[in-house]
């Protein structure tokens, strides 16, 4: 009995017209499908939890970074402000808002610069160097008239103020004039930051405009074109006022600077 033979012929024709013939060869094995060992969705819960955790962690880091960055820039700003200070000890006033403490407007504290750095960060401290007197937005320093070497020419006096980060006194108002005369010695005369830049062109050292309505010249002053610098003193009539004198005369002086805000 002739055995039955089954032929299988597959002819595949590709685009380049070359033909490949497989005869009797078994079909190429197919890729095994991945087997799912567990039910779909059972990994979803831990995966989602992990993602949420990572997201929370990322948000926490971001918030921490932003807060740290803000604090650091604040610190740098304050360091910059302090860099210009040549005085080792400051007296600071904290302006307490009425919301914080009704009835209390100001609290006075004396503290060292190091403490000022650590103080609350809202720049709510107004400071003057130790031994300087605060008034309005400025600090004032008066030479001691009893000390022999504190009398100096106008130029030397201005230089001395400059070396302390200040300038000779500029008087802006009647209130300021009254405050200053209240802390001066009536037997001394003090240079102020007013000078004649030529033929009665009065000029303040700090570029403050010379305002005729806020001047406090003694009677019959200014008196001479040769006298180009100005002192504040008390005359026989017991009134404080200004007088022009020669710049080379040696007198006491008053320095002034803007309050330091920390
Ligand atoms: C007098 C008076 C002033 C002048 C000074 C100079 C004491 O006051 O003449 O006008 O500026 O002398 O020291």
* Count of other CB atoms within 10 angstroms of residue 92: 24
Q: What is the pLDDT of residue 97?
A: 63
Whole-structure pTM value: 0.64
Tens-digit pLDDT profile for residues 46-96: 899 999 999 999 999 999 999 999 888 877 776 666 555 678 899 999 877
Hunting for tokens 């017991």 — which residue is that? 238
Is the CB of 223 within 6 Å of ligand 1?
Answer: yes
Spatial distance between the Cα atoms of 62 and 69, rounded to a whole number of angstroms: 10
Ligand 1 atom 13, closest CA = 245
What's the CA-to-centroid distance between 236 and ligand 1, angstroms?
13
Spatial distance between the Cα atoms of 178 and 196, rounded to a whole number of angstroms: 23
Q: What is the pLDDT of residue 262?
A: 87
Q: Out of 151, 235, 236, 243, give the residue to mutate to test ligand 1, the one with the largest number of ligand atoms within 8 Å of its CB.
A: 243
Is the CB of 156 within 6 Å of ligand 1?
Answer: no
Tens-digit pLDDT profile for residues 175-207: 999 999 999 999 999 999 999 999 899 999 998
CATH number for 131-261: choose from 3.30.70.1350, 3.30.390.30, 3.10.100.10, 3.30.70.270.
Answer: 3.10.100.10
pLDDT(27) > 50: no
Is the CB of 221 within 6 Å of ligand 1?
Answer: yes
The listed range with the strongest mean pLDDT (41-55, 110-124, 131-145) is 131-145
Is the CB of 245 within 6 Å of ligand 1?
Answer: yes
Ligand 1 atom 2, closest CA = 223
What's the CA-to-centroid distance between 198 and ligand 1, angstroms?
19
Ligand 1 atom 4, closest CA = 245
Is the CB of 234 within 6 Å of ligand 1?
Answer: no
Q: What is the pLDDT of residue 22?
A: 42
Is the CB of 181 within 6 Å of ligand 1?
Answer: no
**Which of 38-52, 171-185, 223-237 has the least mean pLDDT?**
38-52
Average pLDDT score, the chain? 80
What's the CA-to-centroid distance between 217 and ligand 1, angstroms?
12
What's the CA-to-centroid distance between 192 and ligand 1, angstroms?
16
Ramachandran region, residue 66 (left: φ > 0; alpha: ψ -120 to 50; beta: rest): alpha
What's the CA-to-centroid distance between 246 and ligand 1, angstroms?
9
Tens-digit pLDDT profile for residues 155-178: 999 999 999 999 999 999 999 999
Q: How confident is the model at residue 236 (pLDDT cuts 50, 70, 90)?
A: confident
Is the CB of 250 within 6 Å of ligand 1?
Answer: no
pLDDT(7) > 50: no
Spatial distance between the Cα atoms of 175 and 155, rounded to a whole number of angstroms: 27
What's the CA-to-centroid distance between 27 and ligand 1, angstroms?
125
pLDDT(130) > 60: yes
């Amino acid at each position: 009995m002739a055995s039955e033979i089954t032929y299988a012929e597959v002819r595949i024709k590709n685009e380049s017209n070359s033909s490949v013939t497989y005869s009797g060869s078994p079909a190429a094995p197919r890729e095994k499908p991945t087997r799912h060992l567990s039910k779909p969705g059972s990994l979803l819960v831990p995966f989602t939890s992990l993602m949420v955790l990572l997201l929370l962690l990322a948000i926490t880091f971001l918030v921490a970074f932003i807060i740290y960055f803000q604090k650091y820039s604040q610190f740098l700003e304050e360091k910059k402000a302090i860099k210009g200070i040549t005085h080792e000890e400051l007296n600071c006033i904290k302006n307490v808002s009425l919301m914080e403490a009704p009835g209390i407007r100001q609290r006075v504290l004396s503290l060292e610069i190091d403490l000022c750095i650590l103080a609350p960060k809202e720049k709510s401290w107004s400071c003057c160097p130790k031994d300087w007197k605060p008034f309005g937005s400025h600090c004032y320093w008066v030479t001691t008239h009893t000390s022999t070497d504190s009398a100096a020419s106008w130029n030397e006096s201005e230089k001395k103020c400059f070396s302390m980060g200040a300038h000779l006194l500029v008087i802006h108002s009647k209130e300021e004039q009254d405050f200053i005369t209240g802390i001066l010695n009536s037997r001394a005369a003090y240079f102020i930051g007013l000078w004649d830049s030529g033929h009665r062109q009065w000029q303040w050292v700090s570029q403050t405009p010379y305002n005729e309505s806020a001047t406090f010249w003694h009677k019959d002053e200014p008196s001479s074109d040769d006298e180009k610098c100005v002192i504040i003193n008390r005359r026989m009539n017991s009134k404080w006022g200004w007088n022009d004198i020669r710049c080379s005369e040696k007198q006491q002086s008053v320095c002034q600077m803007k309050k330091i805000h920390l």
